[in-house]
Amino acid sequence: MALSGVNLGGWFILEKWITPAVFAGTEAVDEYTFMQTLGARTKLRQHHKTFITEKDFAWMREHGITIVRIPVGYWIVWGDAPYVSSLGRLDWAFAMAKKYGIAGPVCLYSERNLFMLLLEAGASVLRTMTTTYGNVKGVAVRI
């Protein structure tokens, strides 16, 4: 079976080069510094609701997309300060992917103990990627 995929970067991990409008009017350079700006929580919640919508999942299916990559940070679960939890919106993304017949692996970026986090969330690890020094850089999971 051939797969046709797309990366949904910039949705759950803010990157200024992908979503410059979110950073407009701030001196922030990344999600960590953005979350320390005035109104950041409200702006981020709005971004999560509007950056990718059900119309996008429908469009992907109509155009033959069969798999999406959704990068997330460890803070998506607990919302460690200054970050906010976005687990509900990630659940919504999986519901949309299922509705439109699109597979949705999550790529988790973290400096925390990934395996404990994944096990606690009920995920099964498909593949890990490590740096030269053995630090886990990312994990593809199935939830």
Largest CA distance in the chain: 48
Residue type present at position 112: R
Q: What is the pLDDT of residue 123?
A: 60
Residue whose entry in the numeric block shows the structure tokens 């155009």: 63
Which tokens is 128 given? 């890990």
Exposed, middle or buried by CB within 10 Å (0-12, 13-18, 19+), for 88? exposed
3-class DSSP state for residue 88?
A: helix
Q: How confident is the model at residue 21 (pLDDT cuts 50, 70, 90)?
A: very high
Please report the pLDDT score of residue 131 as a whole number. Answer: 45
pLDDT score, position 20: 94
Cβ contact 42:14 at 8 Å: no
pLDDT digits (tens, 9 = 90+) for 29-61: 999 999 999 999 999 999 999 999 999 999 999
* pTM (two decimals): 0.76
